[in-house]
Amino acid sequence: MKTRINEIFASIQGEGPVVGYKQLFIRFCGCNLNCEYCDTEFTNGEEFTPQELTQKITSEYDLKSFHSISLTGGEPLLSVEFLKEFLPLIKGKTKIYLETNATLTNNLLEVKDYIDIISADIKLESATGLNTFDKHENFLQNCQNIETFAKIVFDEKITKEEISQCCNIAQKTGIELVLQPKMIGDKMSVTADFCNEILEKFTQKYPNCRLIPQVHKFLDVR
Protein backbone atom coordinates (compact mmCIF):
# COMPACT_ATOMS: atom_id res chain seq x y z
CA MET A 1 0.00 0.00 0.00
CA LYS A 2 1.59 3.25 -1.17
CA THR A 3 0.32 6.80 -1.07
CA ARG A 4 1.49 10.00 -2.66
CA ILE A 5 2.92 12.64 -0.31
CA ASN A 6 3.23 16.19 -1.62
CA GLU A 7 5.65 17.46 1.04
CA ILE A 8 7.00 16.90 4.54
CA PHE A 9 8.22 19.90 6.52
CA ALA A 10 8.63 21.26 10.04
CA SER A 11 6.88 24.54 10.78
CA ILE A 12 4.59 26.41 13.14
CA GLN A 13 0.85 25.78 13.20
CA GLY A 14 -0.82 28.99 12.07
CA GLU A 15 -4.50 28.15 12.48
CA GLY A 16 -6.91 27.36 15.27
CA PRO A 17 -6.43 26.74 19.00
CA VAL A 18 -2.98 25.11 18.73
CA VAL A 19 -1.58 28.12 16.86
CA GLY A 20 2.11 28.71 17.56
CA TYR A 21 3.03 25.10 18.29
CA LYS A 22 5.78 23.38 16.32
CA GLN A 23 4.43 20.65 14.09
CA LEU A 24 5.73 18.21 11.52
CA PHE A 25 3.47 18.61 8.50
CA ILE A 26 2.79 15.69 6.16
CA ARG A 27 0.83 16.92 3.15
CA PHE A 28 -1.14 14.22 1.32
CA CYS A 29 -1.95 14.53 -2.39
CA GLY A 30 -5.48 14.74 -3.75
CA CYS A 31 -8.73 16.20 -2.49
CA ASN A 32 -12.38 15.24 -2.94
CA LEU A 33 -13.49 18.91 -2.95
CA ASN A 34 -12.70 21.84 -5.20
CA CYS A 35 -13.11 24.99 -3.12
CA GLU A 36 -13.08 28.29 -4.97
CA TYR A 37 -10.48 29.81 -2.62
CA CYS A 38 -8.13 26.80 -2.55
CA ASP A 39 -4.51 27.89 -2.98
CA THR A 40 -2.86 24.66 -1.83
CA GLU A 41 -0.63 22.75 -4.22
CA PHE A 42 -1.30 19.08 -3.55
CA THR A 43 -1.13 17.38 -6.94
CA ASN A 44 2.53 16.40 -7.29
CA GLY A 45 4.38 14.17 -4.89
CA GLU A 46 6.49 11.17 -4.08
CA GLU A 47 5.07 7.73 -3.30
CA PHE A 48 5.75 6.12 0.09
CA THR A 49 4.78 2.89 1.79
CA PRO A 50 3.80 3.29 5.48
CA GLN A 51 7.15 1.75 6.43
CA GLU A 52 9.12 4.10 4.16
CA LEU A 53 7.36 7.18 5.51
CA THR A 54 7.90 6.04 9.11
CA GLN A 55 11.59 5.46 8.41
CA LYS A 56 11.94 8.89 6.80
CA ILE A 57 10.30 10.93 9.54
CA THR A 58 11.86 9.04 12.45
CA SER A 59 15.37 9.27 10.98
CA GLU A 60 15.15 12.92 9.86
CA TYR A 61 13.21 14.49 12.74
CA ASP A 62 13.15 14.31 16.54
CA LEU A 63 9.43 13.61 16.78
CA LYS A 64 9.35 14.16 20.56
CA SER A 65 10.28 17.83 20.00
CA PHE A 66 7.05 18.47 18.08
CA HIS A 67 3.68 19.28 19.59
CA SER A 68 2.19 16.93 17.00
CA ILE A 69 2.30 15.57 13.49
CA SER A 70 -0.18 17.37 11.25
CA LEU A 71 -1.78 15.17 8.61
CA THR A 72 -2.82 17.72 6.04
CA GLY A 73 -3.57 18.02 2.36
CA GLY A 74 -5.41 17.99 0.11
CA GLU A 75 -7.56 15.60 2.10
CA PRO A 76 -5.56 13.08 4.17
CA LEU A 77 -8.59 10.85 4.78
CA LEU A 78 -8.60 9.96 1.08
CA SER A 79 -5.48 7.92 1.97
CA VAL A 80 -7.32 5.94 4.64
CA GLU A 81 -5.93 2.54 3.60
CA PHE A 82 -2.42 3.95 3.95
CA LEU A 83 -3.24 5.61 7.29
CA LYS A 84 -4.55 2.32 8.70
CA GLU A 85 -1.03 0.93 8.37
CA PHE A 86 0.96 4.11 8.98
CA LEU A 87 -0.67 5.43 12.16
CA PRO A 88 -0.03 2.28 14.26
CA LEU A 89 3.66 2.50 13.28
CA ILE A 90 4.04 6.00 14.77
CA LYS A 91 1.63 5.60 17.67
CA GLY A 92 3.02 7.13 20.88
CA LYS A 93 5.88 9.02 19.18
CA THR A 94 3.96 12.32 19.31
CA LYS A 95 0.34 13.44 19.01
CA ILE A 96 -1.56 13.11 15.73
CA TYR A 97 -3.37 16.20 14.48
CA LEU A 98 -5.75 15.70 11.55
CA GLU A 99 -6.61 18.63 9.28
CA THR A 100 -9.64 17.58 7.28
CA ASN A 101 -12.43 19.01 5.16
CA ALA A 102 -14.79 16.94 7.35
CA THR A 103 -16.73 15.19 4.61
CA LEU A 104 -15.39 11.58 4.69
CA THR A 105 -17.01 10.21 7.85
CA ASN A 106 -16.61 6.52 7.03
CA ASN A 107 -12.89 7.01 6.45
CA LEU A 108 -12.52 8.87 9.76
CA LEU A 109 -14.15 5.98 11.61
CA GLU A 110 -11.50 3.60 10.29
CA VAL A 111 -8.61 5.56 11.87
CA LYS A 112 -10.32 7.48 14.65
CA ASP A 113 -8.57 5.57 17.44
CA TYR A 114 -5.21 6.98 16.34
CA ILE A 115 -6.20 10.65 16.12
CA ASP A 116 -5.65 13.03 19.08
CA ILE A 117 -6.89 16.37 17.65
CA ILE A 118 -9.17 17.13 14.71
CA SER A 119 -9.23 20.42 12.87
CA ALA A 120 -12.44 20.03 10.87
CA ASP A 121 -13.75 22.48 8.30
CA ILE A 122 -17.27 23.73 8.03
CA LYS A 123 -17.27 25.02 4.46
CA LEU A 124 -19.53 27.94 3.58
CA GLU A 125 -21.16 27.82 0.19
CA SER A 126 -20.64 31.59 -0.10
CA ALA A 127 -16.85 31.10 0.13
CA THR A 128 -16.30 27.69 -1.48
CA GLY A 129 -19.12 27.41 -4.02
CA LEU A 130 -20.01 24.01 -2.46
CA ASN A 131 -22.91 22.94 -0.26
CA THR A 132 -21.44 20.44 2.19
CA PHE A 133 -23.28 21.27 5.45
CA ASP A 134 -24.94 17.86 5.80
CA LYS A 135 -21.63 16.08 5.37
CA HIS A 136 -19.98 18.29 8.01
CA GLU A 137 -22.77 17.67 10.48
CA ASN A 138 -22.52 13.91 10.06
CA PHE A 139 -18.72 14.06 10.35
CA LEU A 140 -18.72 16.20 13.50
CA GLN A 141 -21.30 13.96 15.17
CA ASN A 142 -18.73 11.17 14.83
CA CYS A 143 -15.84 13.05 16.47
CA GLN A 144 -16.90 12.27 20.06
CA ASN A 145 -14.04 11.66 22.50
CA ILE A 146 -11.52 13.45 20.29
CA GLU A 147 -10.44 17.05 20.87
CA THR A 148 -12.14 18.70 17.90
CA PHE A 149 -12.77 22.22 16.66
CA ALA A 150 -14.41 23.41 13.47
CA LYS A 151 -12.77 26.04 11.32
CA ILE A 152 -14.98 28.34 9.25
CA VAL A 153 -13.28 30.37 6.52
CA PHE A 154 -15.45 33.37 5.70
CA ASP A 155 -15.41 36.48 3.56
CA GLU A 156 -17.77 39.39 2.98
CA LYS A 157 -20.30 37.06 1.29
CA ILE A 158 -21.16 35.11 4.48
CA THR A 159 -24.95 35.00 4.98
CA LYS A 160 -27.26 35.02 8.00
CA GLU A 161 -28.48 31.52 7.03
CA GLU A 162 -24.91 30.20 7.00
CA ILE A 163 -24.22 31.63 10.46
CA SER A 164 -27.39 29.93 11.74
CA GLN A 165 -26.49 26.61 10.08
CA CYS A 166 -22.97 26.65 11.58
CA CYS A 167 -24.31 27.46 15.04
CA ASN A 168 -26.93 24.70 14.75
CA ILE A 169 -24.23 22.13 13.95
CA ALA A 170 -22.10 23.41 16.85
CA GLN A 171 -25.02 23.27 19.28
CA LYS A 172 -25.77 19.67 18.30
CA THR A 173 -22.15 18.55 18.55
CA GLY A 174 -20.80 20.85 21.29
CA ILE A 175 -17.64 21.77 19.39
CA GLU A 176 -15.74 25.02 19.44
CA LEU A 177 -16.02 27.20 16.32
CA VAL A 178 -12.97 29.03 14.99
CA LEU A 179 -13.78 31.84 12.57
CA GLN A 180 -11.00 32.46 10.08
CA PRO A 181 -11.16 35.43 7.70
CA LYS A 182 -10.23 34.54 4.15
CA MET A 183 -6.78 35.87 3.27
CA ILE A 184 -5.55 37.45 0.08
CA GLY A 185 -1.80 36.97 0.23
CA ASP A 186 -0.80 37.99 3.76
CA LYS A 187 -3.75 40.37 4.22
CA MET A 188 -7.26 39.67 5.49
CA SER A 189 -9.87 39.96 2.74
CA VAL A 190 -12.26 41.70 5.17
CA THR A 191 -11.84 44.57 7.62
CA ALA A 192 -11.30 44.21 11.36
CA ASP A 193 -14.73 45.83 11.90
CA PHE A 194 -16.38 43.20 9.70
CA CYS A 195 -14.60 40.44 11.65
CA ASN A 196 -15.91 41.87 14.92
CA GLU A 197 -19.40 42.08 13.49
CA ILE A 198 -19.31 38.43 12.36
CA LEU A 199 -17.91 37.25 15.70
CA GLU A 200 -20.72 39.13 17.44
CA LYS A 201 -23.35 37.47 15.23
CA PHE A 202 -21.94 34.02 15.94
CA THR A 203 -21.57 34.51 19.69
CA GLN A 204 -25.15 35.77 19.99
CA LYS A 205 -26.21 32.28 18.87
CA TYR A 206 -23.29 30.17 20.13
CA PRO A 207 -20.76 31.63 22.62
CA ASN A 208 -18.02 29.01 22.14
CA CYS A 209 -16.52 30.84 19.12
CA ARG A 210 -13.16 32.45 18.54
CA LEU A 211 -11.79 34.55 15.71
CA ILE A 212 -8.25 33.50 14.74
CA PRO A 213 -6.67 34.73 11.49
CA GLN A 214 -4.01 32.65 9.73
CA VAL A 215 -1.00 33.56 11.86
CA HIS A 216 1.58 31.78 9.67
CA LYS A 217 0.90 34.37 6.95
CA PHE A 218 1.99 37.14 9.35
CA LEU A 219 4.98 35.10 10.51
CA ASP A 220 5.88 34.44 6.87
CA VAL A 221 6.29 30.70 7.45
CA ARG A 222 4.59 27.85 5.63
Residues that bind ligand SF4 (CB under 6 A): 31, 33-35, 38, 40, 73-75, 101
Minimum CB distance to ligand SF4 smaller for 43 or for 159: 43
Identify the CA nearest to 115 among candidates 73, 72, 175.
Answer: 72
Angle value at C-alpha 136, between 115 and 11, nearest 5 degrees: 45
Determine the 3-state secondary structure of 67 from DSSP: coil
Spatial distance between the Cα atoms of 172 and 159, rounded to a whole number of angstroms: 20
**Beta carbon of residue 191, minimum distance to ligand SF4 (angstroms, whole number):** 23
Minimum separation from the CB atom of position 149 to ligand SF4 (A): 16
C-beta of residue 69 within 8 angstroms of C-beta of residue 26: yes
What's the min distance (Å) between Cβ of 100 and ligand SF4?
A: 8
Residue with smaller CB distance to ligand SF4, 35 or 190: 35
Residue 111 Cβ vs ligand SF4, minimum distance, rounded to whole Å:
18
Nearer to ligand SF4, 73 or 181 (CB): 73
- What residues contact 175, with CB distance under 8 A and at least 6 apart? 120, 140, 143, 148, 149, 150, 208
Of 15 and 75, which has the nearer Cβ to ligand SF4?
75
Smallest distance, ligand SF4 to C-beta of residue 194, A: 21
Say if CB 68 and CB 95 are below 8 A apart: yes
Q: Of 123, 156, 125, whose CA–CA distance to 137 is shortest?
A: 123
